[in-house]
Each structure stands twice: as structure tokens, then as C-alpha cells.
Amino acid sequence: MRTVSKDNITQAFLNYCSQDTDPRLKFVLEKLVHHLHDFVRETDLTHDEWRKGLELLYAAGEISTPERNEFVLFSDVLGLSSLVDMVNSPEDGTPSSVLGPFHVLGAPEAAVGADLKGDNEGKTVVVGGRVLTPDGQPVVGAELEIWQTADNGLYSNQDAAQPEYNLRSHMNADDDGRYLFSTVRPAPYTVPDDGPVGELLRATGRHPWRPSHLHFIVTAPGFRSLVTEVFPSDDPYLDEDAVFGVREKLVMEYQERTSLDGLPDDLEIRDRLTLPYYVVDFDFVLARAET
């Protein structure tokens, strides 16, 4: 197309894509460019604003390392990561939520009932529940990856004072789909705000806090993998998560207990528990994998 105008430039882009472009790629690009072009037309974007946007992306590249991906963080604080999660979450399963940058592979195996708290400071929490099918049956062969912050709001890979795999584990649920562990109550924390994402947050009067949470990846043969996190109902940041990860169905309660009554026998920490402690009861529902 020779005479490109602001009204036909979107079509011109599409015309330039060859006939044998992968259909899904063409569809996604068509929508992306359509919205990008509309965005410029609707905002009358100035050169300075366009340049500022590109400078933010450049700065994101400069600060990114294999351990820190500022582009993902941009996606998180813009709500893009959570929207992709929600669009892809099956209706009949536990909702997914952001993975975040602090998951590491290779966490040690822990048996059902294991203690992750060890020498960690903080309130003791007994977390348990079942991994279920959408019709309430136990999922056989379920595995859980668990990670969280310590009482100081830091993950083990952010804090040289913590042992390498502190408050991280991999657990095989039992044949009844049951998982159980004791741990420490995690604390709210801030997403990294010393880069261009922080600049954007400050420019828009936003804070970088996330409500405290426990992260899980739940997998089982024949089921869709679930990356999610659960949040306590009494967290001060529950309604203002910097990365929009909270969903109604992911909110749990820390129930205070002042006696050992009703505690499962297979809880490793049982004989060392001090009162009060807190119980979290949370079931995961896995959607069946598409065949």
C-alpha cells in the first residue's frame, strides 16, 4: 500500500503479512496491532509520550537479569498476567494466580504432615486440605510445590540469612488427595520497585505491596496443572494487591486454635506445638486435562 493514512494503516499492516503466516499468529497480531493503532488514535499519543514508553521498555531490558525479569513485572502490575490467568482458568477448577519470580526448582521432598517451620520465627500454621476432582473425588497421584516468604517478608532466594530451600517443599498427596504441613505465617511484602516498574507505580500513586500468601503448584496425571496462591481474609492488602492476584475463591482463614484437639496424628510438629497456633483448611480442585 503506497498511500498509507491513519485510517488504513492497520489494514496495511495486515496486507503485509504473507498468506502462509501461521493462522493463530496472524489472528493474535491482527488484534494486537488493531488495539495498538486504536490506542494511538484514541489518545492522540505525542512523540514525547511514545518515546517515554519506549524508554521504560529499554530500562526494563537494562535492569533485567536471569533472576529478575522486569517485563514480567510490568505485565504483573498492569494486570496483564492476571488477565491471562483468568482467561485461561477453567470454570470448574480452583482459579490460577501469578507464579511470581521467586519459585525455584529442586525443593526438598516432604512427607504429608511434614514441618517446614523448623527454626523460623513467627506464628505456627498448620496447612492442610485435599486435592479434588471437579465432582469432589480425591485426585490420585497429586503433587504439590509449596513456597512462601518467611516472617520478614523475604523468600529464601532474596535473603542470605535463610537456608537455600527454607519454606519450600515438594509433597506427594496421599491416596485420598490429602496434603498437610506445618509452617510459619508468611508476611506481606513489596514487589521490586527500584526499577522502571517502581517509577510507573510512583507516577500513578500506587504502592508496591502484595498481601501475604502461600504459593502452590498442584499437578496430577490427567489433570490441568494449577499455579496458584492462597491469601488470608484478614490481610491489610487483600483488596489492593499490586499485581491483582487475589480471587474470591483463593481467600482462606487462619483459624486460631488453643488446644491440640482434632490435630491429625501424622503431624510431625505435633509434640512441639505451642499454643495458640493457626489452622488453614484449603482444598484444591483440578480441572481435567483436555484429551
Rule CB under 6 A: which residues touch ligand BEZ? 73, 76, 98, 100-102, 191, 210, 243
User: Phi, psi (5° rounding) for residue 251?
Assistant: -90, 130
Cα dihedral angle (36, 40, 41, 47), rounded to 10 degrees?
-150
Shorter beta-carbon distance to ligand BEZ: residue 191 or 267: 191
Q: Which segments within the chain are labelled E, that is strand? A: 109-110, 114-115, 124-132, 143-147, 168-172, 178-184, 189-190, 209-210, 214-219, 226-232, 251-252, 255-257, 277-281, 284-285
Q: How many CB atoms lie within 10 A of CB 121?
A: 9
In angstroms, give the least distance from the CB of 218 to ligand BEZ: 16
User: How far is residue 257's CA from residue 6's CA, in Å, rounded to a whole number?
Assistant: 65
- Taking CB under 5 A as the criterion, the residue among 100, 195, 198, 232 binding Fe ion is 100
DSSP state of 282: -
Shorter beta-carbon distance to Fe ion: residue 124 or 148: 148
Shorter beta-carbon distance to ligand BEZ: residue 102 or 165: 102
Shorter beta-carbon distance to Fe ion: residue 95 or 100: 100
Residue 76 interacts, among ligand BEZ, Fe ion, none and using kind-specific CB cut-offs from 5 to 8 Å, with ligand BEZ
What binding mask, one character per residue, do residues 226-255 give for Fe ion by CB under 5 A, x or -?
A: ------------------------------
In angstroms, give the least distance from the CB of 100 to Fe ion: 4
The site for Fe ion (CB under 5 A) is made up of 100
